[in-house]
Amino acid sequence: MPAPFHKFDRNLGFILNDVSRLLRREFDRRARGLGLTRAQWMLLVHLARQPGASQADLAESVQQEKITVSRQAARLEKSGWIERTDQGTDRRAYHLRLTPKADQMIARLFALGEQLQADVLTGLAARRREALIDDLIAVRANLLRMEMRGSA
């Protein structure tokens, strides 16, 4: 019998994809009672990372079409989660900012995330946890450098 072409259980891409999918699913389960859809809280979290971002910038960040983000932003504004302000000369472009109501939700989402992180890292010594995070940050930096070289 021929040897397997790949060892999927030891392949970084497959492992990261599985971990990401499982983390998202568990976070969704824990956040279910917060009264926001996944798309809504994801937009809020990305906006917390990029205060004052334009809708176009946010669309790129969340990997959605601009019209999708525009519609979502309109709903979030109507519900009091964000404020949209004109971007100056282009009346079609808006800068988005979180409201105090959204700041409180972000704090709850981050608390959920911190608890989830603690739960999934159970059994790893503190120094191994830190090393894992440091290694993943280095992997991300390598991928970002490759992306920059590819777009140049």
Whether residue 38 is contained in a domain is answered as yes
| pLDDT for the residue 4 | 63
- Phi then psi for residue 64, to 5 deg, are -130, 165
Helices 66-78/55-62 angle, 10° precision:
110
- Name the token pair of 116: 């989830």
Outline where DSSP puts E strands in the chain.
82-86, 94-98
| pLDDT for the residue 90 | 66
CA distance 142 to 93: 33
Domain count, the chain: 1
What is the domain-level CATH number for residue 62?
1.10.10.10
1 has pLDDT over 70: no
Share of the chain above pLDDT 90, in %: 78
CA distance 120 to 19: 10
Say which residue the tokens 């603690």 belong to: 118
Across the chain, mean pLDDT equals: 91
Q: Cβ(82)–Cβ(47) under 8 Å?
A: yes
Query: What digits encode the pLDDT tens for the residues 111-149?
Result: 999 999 999 999 999 999 999 999 999 999 999 999 999
Q: What is the mean pLDDT of residues 84-97?
A: 79
Whether residue 22 is contained in a domain is answered as yes
Whether residue 147 is contained in a domain is answered as no
Whether residue 132 is contained in a domain is answered as no
| pLDDT for the residue 94 | 85
User: What is the helix (H) or strand (E) element at residue 89, kind and residue range?
Assistant: none
- Give the number of residues written for the chain: 152
Whether residue 26 is contained in a domain is answered as yes
**Number of neighbours of residue 59 by Cβ within 10 angstroms:** 21
Whether residue 113 is contained in a domain is answered as yes
Query: What digits encode the pLDDT tens for the residues 57-84?
Result: 999 999 999 999 999 999 999 999 999 9
3 has pLDDT over 80: no
Residue 39: give the domain boundaries. 8-120
Whether residue 3 is contained in a domain is answered as no
